[in-house]
Amino acid sequence: MFPKKIQLKRNATLKALLDSFMYSTEIKEYMLWYYSPMALAYSEHLHPALTIYDCMDELSAFKFAPPELKEWELCLMNHAGLVFTGGHSLYQAKKHLHHNIHSFPSSIDKSHFMKARISKNDPEDQASIPHPRFGFYGVIDERFHISLINELATLRPDWHFILVGPVIKIDPASLPQKENIHYTGGRDYKDLPYYLGGWDVAILPFELNDSTKYISPTKTPEYLAGGKPVISTSITDVVTPYGDQGLVHIADNAEQFIIEAEKIFNNKNKQEWLEKVDTFLSTISWNKTWRQMSDLIDEALAKRSLITNQKKKTYV
């Protein structure tokens, strides 16, 4: 956590850099798009045509979150003409805070992750790992269910757990070290389908706590696009719609996880499941998401323009 004086100095520096950029580029008409309310501390003085708050997570629940983050979020809600949330549960939690708020759950670059269905290029650091393989890619932080992986690896020493991603905000020494748990570190986005293609089951082993209460993992549709069965803990935005529609298996402890994994291994009709997956995925894409967002932005700009013109007429 930064001391107050350092925060003030940092924000003053960022404000000066931002003002210099705006002046040097002669930007007159613009929108501001925020992913973090904390950015308002050095940009509140600007006058955009529209302010958009893209609320992807409940950042105040994350480890080391600034204590003033919630206050800044309320301030940003007042500034914003349009708010997006990264999932349905987050929308339910925030909808009372803004009059023009819309839910946009995780979408997908299908063509990229569908490479996993046909990939024969097992990455070098994965090629020698025996099957069955249970894989995860993403940040390994306070949201990751370390104890669940440790227990599973102990109960099933012949199962191998491949964890692809950087370790952030937690002590790497706290991670279980077993012969059947494999940490690759961070990997490039372009390489993820090749790791995914070599797994037998993709997993979403998240803790159930404040930091995961409103998450909507983008990995869920990505794993499915790769044609992989998925086991997840009962994250709200995974249970609905994925669990409810029988696309993802849900398990919150090692015993349940093992039962669901055995169901996957014993499934003789994977094609029927895959057809259900593809039907679901056909309804989502980042292009569709952007078109819907773009329409909402146009509407918000038109409304603001109308209000501005009405005010001008009032003062004439």
- Say whether pLDDT at 84 is over 70: yes
The alpha carbon of 24 is separated from its chain's Cα centroid by a whole number of angstroms, namely 34
The amino acid that residue 81 corresponds to is G
Rounded to an integer, the average pLDDT of 158-176 is 95
> Domains in the chain and their CATH numbers?
4-104+286-315 (3.40.50.2000), 111-281 (3.40.50.2000)
Give the per-residue pLDDT at 311.
60
The CA-CA-CA angle for residues 51, 55, 60, to 5°, reads 120
Q: Calculate what percentage of the chain has a pLDDT beyond 90.
A: 85
Residue 312's pLDDT is 57
* pLDDT top residue among 98 and 7: 98
Residue 164: closest CA among 192, 131, 129: 192
Averaged confidence pLDDT in the chain: 93
- Decide if pLDDT at 314 tops 80: no
In this predicted model, what pLDDT tens digit does every residue of 218-242 receive, in sequence order? Answer: 999 999 999 999 999 999 999 999 9
pLDDT of 121? 86
pTM, rounded to two decimals:
0.88
Is the model's pLDDT at 307 over the cut of 90? no
What is the side-by-side strand order in the sheet with 82-85? 31-34, 50-55, 82-85, 101-103
Strand partners, 137: 164
Q: How far apart are CA 287 and CA 66, in angstroms?
A: 34
Q: What pLDDT, on a 0 to 100 scale, did the predictor assign at position 253?
A: 98
Closest by alpha carbon to 41, among 76, 67, 65, 6? 76
Per-residue model confidence as pLDDT tens digits over 255-288:
999 999 999 999 988 999 999 999 999 999 999 9
Find out whether 87 and 258 touch, Cβ atoms under 8 Å: no
Confidence of residue 67 (pLDDT cuts 50, 70, 90): confident
Q: What is the mean pLDDT of residues 290-316?
A: 80
What's the token pair of residue 287? 């292009």
